[in-house]
Amino acid sequence: MHNTSHSTQFQALTKHLLLAFSSAGAISRMPVQDIDHYSELAVFHDAGKKAIPPAILNKPGFLTPEEFSIMKSHTTEGCRLLAEDPALSAREDFPLICDVCRHHHERWDGGGYPDGLTGCQIAPWVQVVGLADAFDALIHPRSYKPAYLWTQAASMISDGACGAFSPDILICFRYHIGGVYAAVY
């Protein structure tokens, strides 16, 4: 997972996107307490990266197909690792935590992983976490790429460079991302 400051920022990004999408009807309307809860759970999405070898996780440049396969396992490894924590696995919302770990890379058209879910098979809030994750990854530097301007990142997501998202979510994203970016960053 990321540092605490980044986790707080990611949580705020998720919350602002959920608020915008819920109030605009791009996803089912949610009470604010649910939005707060889902935003808190969003920070668990990349827990499985702890199981990825640092040489792959921090590799500059492109991953080989074998390395990418290992990287994709962070979705399933997150559930496994978190289940090993008795206090966490005993939580009533543990299935939601596993849902966001496992499915934040699923895409609307079935082109995501690990389960190839499509459309409404992906919980709306998890779709929003996936979008937030894609946006956040684009605007921050990584060992394999520089940071993009937020406007470039928004265009890349809108143009499908990060996989397919719900058409309703994308329309709302295009409309609200400037205000969301200003509020969070």
107 in Cβ contact with 130 (< 8 Å): yes
pLDDT one-digit tens code per residue, 62-78: 899 999 999 999 999 99
* Alpha carbons 39 and 17: distance in angstroms, whole number: 10
Q: Which own/partner contact pairs does 65-74 have at CB distance under 8 Å and 24+ positions apart?
A: 72/105, 72/113, 72/114, 73/48, 73/114, 74/46, 74/48, 74/49
Q: What is the pLDDT of residue 3?
A: 61
Q: What is the pLDDT of residue 144?
A: 82
Question: What is the percentage of the chain residues whose pLDDT exceeds 90?
Answer: 91
Average pLDDT of the segment spanning 9-30: 97
122 in Cβ contact with 131 (< 8 Å): no
Q: What is the pLDDT of residue 142?
A: 87
* Out of 66-75, 124-133, 160-169, least confident range: 160-169
Does residue 161 surpass a pLDDT of 90? no
pLDDT one-digit tens code per residue, 89-126: 999 999 999 999 999 999 999 999 999 999 999 999 99
Average pLDDT of the segment spanning 147-171: 94
User: How many angstroms separate the most distant Cα atoms in the chain?
Assistant: 43
The pTM of the full predicted model, rounded to 2 decimals, is 0.94
* Residue 61: band (very low, low, confident or very high) from pLDDT cuts 50, 70, 90: confident
Does residue 1 surpass a pLDDT of 70? no
Three state DSSP letters for 119-166: HHHCCHHHHHHHHHHHHHHHHCCECCECCCCHHHHHHHHHCCCCCCCC
Q: Which two tokens stand for residue 16?
A: 């602002």
Does residue 157 surpass a pLDDT of 80? yes
Q: What is the pLDDT of residue 138?
A: 95
* Out of 103-112, 137-146, 150-159, 172-181, least confident range: 137-146
Regarding predicted confidence, which is higher, 7 or 93? 93
